[in-house]
Structure 1
């Protein structure tokens, strides 16, 4: 299995921005160069397990939060992500998001039934 380093980097960047810290500040906290952190965030370099743990600790998130796009069982992380997304929506946007999610679930289930036949 190949890890999706772009997805890991994107989650690191989002968590860093939520904490309102710069790449330079995070790089200093985890003892890497700002250039290396930039490369991690863009997914253009592989990040070590040690660095992922340091980044998670510095950003007050779990390693699962950073790796969930690569995990089979990551439901809690995705549920938190969905809730965070909805928290920023107005009533109309929540209604539309629900309709889109419902249609997506129905399409996936319908496709799964077709593939089982």
Structure 2
């Protein structure tokens, strides 16, 4: 499949759908486009309730984005313990956390200047 030329916002929407496929919760999108010296345009952050679910959500994002857009992450890490999995799509970085890790690392607090959008759980 040829990779489609999409905007970062369209990629974010596709990632969110992939998260929702495996019932990832507390989805937040941090828009970093108005901030200086950022590593990407958006963070997409969500929770899973166990190592198994964190792994499943991250793999769902990879599969969903690949199937619908034809894109793969440039880099991924965290699959070995599945407490915090990071997927780097250049313009968008996905963080799939277990709840305790999300609270501990507090990315939303570190990037508090970013515009935050919360996505309601579908279930």
Work out whether the TM-score is over 0.5.
no
Flag the structure with more relative contact order, 1 or 2, with Cα contacts below 8 A and sequence separation at least 6: 2
Q: Which has the larger strand fraction?
A: 2
Q: Which has the larger helix fraction?
A: 1
Structure showing greater Rg: 1
TM-score by length of 1: 0.27
TM-score by length of 2: 0.26
